[in-house]
Amino acid sequence: MELKRVALIAHDGKKDDLVDFVKAHQGWFETLELVGTGTTGGRVAELGMSVRRLASGPLGGDAQIAALITEGLLDAVVFFRDPMGKHPHEPDVNMLLRQCDVHNVALATNRATAELLVQAANPAQG
């Protein structure tokens, strides 16, 4: 599985987890074109990585990523979701997840699945 363009998203309660995950695989992520929602993209950029930042999720960032998926501009999405929280932009989140399914884009919604995605895309790092 070859990945070139990956979106990074995390709900507020999962942002630290996503940053830790990216940091653990920073060498691999630095070879990719990264896109992130507002705060999440900023947090990853603080690691010294290049990230195209879109709007915050609740302000349309999730919809922007769904549009990139629809246009065939993303190969995978790593979206650390908080299943215990309520999110006012849940319809946008559901649309994004649906677009991953419709367009057969790899989707990791937790660390375990994200680890498998990294291993599948880069067996040397796994």
Catalytic-role residue among 12, 16, 20, 62: 62
Task: Give catalytic status of residue 62 as yes or no.
Answer: yes
Q: How many angstroms separate the CA atoms of 75 and 31, rounded?
A: 14
Q: Is 104 left (phi over 0), alpha (psi -120 to 50) or beta?
A: left
Give the list of residues 6+ apart from residue 14 with CB closer than 8 angstroms, or none: 80, 81, 82
Catalytic residues: 62
